[in-house]
A and B are shown apart, each in its own frame.
Chain A
Amino acid sequence: MIDSELVAEARQLLHDVNASLQLITGNLELLSMSDPQNEEQREMIASALEGAGDAVRYVRELQQKLRGQ
């Protein structure tokens, strides 16, 4: 069993990470919707969104594990 204060702190941190991820994914999506980019820029945005998507999954996984604590 992990220390309950540590769990609470971790939950707060993950909450903040989710807010940061919202900024990253939200702005990337807005960027992809705005002025037409060239192929390379589109690929870069897609790749960044893919990376952010991975981060979202990792955070969800951690939150799921912490719910059991």
Chain B
Amino acid sequence: MAAAARRILIIDDDRRVLQVFERVLERAGFDCVTASDPAKVLELLHTEPDIGVVLTDLQMPGIDGVQLMRQIRERFVSRPWLQLVVVTGNATLESAIDSLRLEATEYLQKPLAAADLVQVATRATTRAETLRLLNPKTGAAASVGDLKAVASLAGQIAGEMHGSEGAVPALGAANAEQLLRLIWQIQAVRREVFPEDRLPTASWEMLSELMSLELAGRRTSVGGLCLAASCPVTTALRRIEELVEMGLIAKEQDPADARRQHVRLTASGRTKMEQFLTRVANELGSA
């Protein structure tokens, strides 16, 4: 599954742009499928069930990218792990909100630097891979190889944070029960590092988003962080204040825009996230 999850479908009506994206991603080891005709996308996804990520343009003849993503979500309900990434030449607030409602994980503006494209693809395929494995239907059929892939993934994340290659021992015999046990272990680690009564789900989602952005060398604003939490904006804002009080995150004024505040993990917040990820990598490795 590890190889399959690195399969990306790229949609753009401009064949030359398709070729550039395909070349950049294939150099980075991704397996790409391309479509310049959005009308053929649903059929392609039907015949290529291994695709984990759909990277799409928005303005295309015949169908709008948002409509296309809606059709994908409706038609492929059984593939909740499918990651949608938008790359558009005309970013608007409306299309960004529509994309987020359809659970697009990234919304980016062209032109996109090669390094950014690879980072986005890596994050999206990682999410697809993990979600696919943890999905009740596919998870039940998870193989030893699948679990090794997750262990290796967690090890890579931990290694990346410590500036070294993460070596995680191979897993032994694995089945669905073992997978569930691993999930419980992960939850136990989370409760230990971040006691449940002090850390509601929305806060956890925002901390994870900040860690993910930090690893990708990106940052976000208060508004952007609110979107990462699956709760109303007012609740998210309250959670942000709580996290600031707990010393896990800090807000900073954007020098270029007085209306915007950036949010980042504090040293303490980052240390706790590192502890969490390292512990998860160890739990997976020793399972």
**Partner-B contacts on A (CB < 8 A):** 11-12, 14-19, 21-27, 29-30, 33, 52, 56, 60, 63, 67
- The answer to whether A33 touches B27, judged by C-beta atoms less than 8 angstroms apart, is yes
Overall SS of chain A's interface: helix
Other-chain residue from B20, B24, B93, B109 in contact with A18 (beta carbon distance below 8 A): B109
- The answer to whether A27 touches B27, judged by C-beta atoms less than 8 angstroms apart, is no
Q: Provide the residues of chain B in CB contact with A63, threshold 8 Å.
A: 90-91
Given contacts A17-B89, A18-B111, 20 further A-B pairs with CB under 8 A are A12-B90, A15-B90, A18-B89, A18-B110, A19-B14, A19-B89, A19-B110, A22-B110, A22-B111, A22-B112, A25-B111, A25-B113, A26-B17, A26-B21, A26-B23, A26-B24, A26-B111, A26-B112, A30-B20, A63-B90
- The answer to whether A30 touches B114, judged by C-beta atoms less than 8 angstroms apart, is yes
A11 CB to closest chain B CB (Å) equals 6
Known interface pairs A15-B59, A23-B20. Does A29 touch B89 (Cβ–Cβ under 8 Å)?
no
**Partner-A contacts on B (CB < 8 A):** 14, 16-17, 20-21, 23-24, 27, 59, 88-93, 109-114
- The answer to whether A30 touches B90, judged by C-beta atoms less than 8 angstroms apart, is no
Listed from nearest, the 9 A-B pairs whose CB atoms lie closest are A26-B20, A18-B89, A15-B90, A22-B111, A15-B89, A21-B111, A29-B114, A18-B110, A22-B110
- The answer to whether B109 touches A29, judged by C-beta atoms less than 8 angstroms apart, is no
Q: Provide the residues of chain A in CB contact with B21, threshold 8 Å.
A: 26
A50 CB to closest chain B CB (Å) equals 13
Q: Provide the residues of chain B in CB contact with A22, threshold 8 Å.
A: 17, 20, 89, 110-112
Q: Provide the residues of chain A in CB contact with B14, threshold 8 Å.
A: 19, 23
- The answer to whether A30 touches B24, judged by C-beta atoms less than 8 angstroms apart, is yes
Q: Provide the residues of chain A in CB contact with B59, threshold 8 Å.
A: 15
Q: Provide the residues of chain B in CB contact with A23, threshold 8 Å.
A: 14, 16-17, 20
- Rounded to whole angstroms, the CA-CA distance of A26 and B110 in the bound complex is 10
Q: Provide the residues of chain B in CB contact with A19, threshold 8 Å.
A: 14, 17, 89, 110
Q: Provide the residues of chain B in CB contact with A15, threshold 8 Å.
A: 59, 88-90
- The answer to whether B20 touches A27, judged by C-beta atoms less than 8 angstroms apart, is yes
- Rounded to whole angstroms, the CA-CA distance of A23 and B14 in the bound complex is 10
Other-chain residue from B24, B90, B93 in contact with A29 (beta carbon distance below 8 A): B24
B210 CB to closest chain A CB (Å) equals 25
A54 CB to closest chain B CB (Å) equals 12
Q: Provide the residues of chain B in CB contact with A18, threshold 8 Å.
A: 89-90, 109-111
A24 CB to closest chain B CB (Å) equals 8
A60 CB to closest chain B CB (Å) equals 8
- The answer to whether A16 touches B114, judged by C-beta atoms less than 8 angstroms apart, is no
A selection of 20 A-B contacts at a CB cut-off of 8 Å is: A11-B90, A12-B90, A14-B90, A18-B89, A18-B111, A19-B14, A19-B89, A19-B110, A21-B110, A22-B111, A22-B112, A25-B113, A26-B111, A27-B20, A29-B114, A30-B24, A30-B27, A30-B114, A60-B109, A63-B90
- Rounded to whole angstroms, the CA-CA distance of A60 and B90 in the bound complex is 10
- The answer to whether A33 touches B17, judged by C-beta atoms less than 8 angstroms apart, is no
